[in-house]
């Protein structure tokens, strides 16, 4: 079975509602990245890390691979170095304040 998704409504700010050809309604978060002119602001301070590894580096979150400000390493390996950067950023943030960060799931 193959379902085709069509956007049927967008709510201001952060979510988009879509209906598949199978009749399933999907509510997805929209990140203010790339060509999006609205959505959730993605930054080191606003979303939990979901390390994303690619041939040309590592990023804080999968929706941020086009954002140089969220690139945390120029090389994907060694992975331990990438995880050390994430731990360091989280430690600095925790020392300052733990408020304001939320989870943004893109699936």
Please, what sign has the CA dihedral across residues 45, 14, 65, 51? positive
Q: What is the pTM of this model?
A: 0.62
Is 73 within a domain? yes
- Pair (48, 95) in one structural domain: yes
3-state helix, strand and coil shares in percent for the chain, rounded to the nearest 5: 20, 30, 50
Give tens-digit pLDDT for 69-91. 899 999 988 999 999 999 998 88
Give tens-digit pLDDT for 45-71. 888 898 999 999 999 988 888 889 899
- Pair (71, 24) in one structural domain: no
Give tens-digit pLDDT for 2-48. 444 444 444 445 566 666 666 666 666 777 777 777 777 788 888 88
- Pair (19, 50) in one structural domain: no
Number of alpha carbons in the 13 Å side-chain half-sphere of residue 1: 6
Is 4 within a domain? yes
- Pair (57, 16) in one structural domain: no
Residues spanned by the domain of 101: 43-107
State how many domains the chain has: 2
């Amino acid at each position: 079975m193959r379902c085709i998704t069509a956007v049927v409504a967008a709510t201001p700010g952060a979510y988009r509602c879509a209906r598949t050809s199978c009749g399933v309604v999907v509510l997805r978060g929209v990140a203010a990245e790339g060509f999006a002119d609205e959505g959730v602001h993605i930054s080191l301070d606003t979303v939990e890390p979901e390390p994303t590894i690619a041939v040309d580096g590592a990023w804080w979150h999968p929706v941020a691979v086009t954002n140089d400000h969220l690139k945390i390493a120029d090389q994907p390996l060694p992975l331990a170095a990438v995880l050390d950067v994430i731990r360091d950023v989280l430690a600095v943030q925790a020392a300052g304040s733990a408020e304001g960060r939320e989870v943004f799931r893109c699936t």
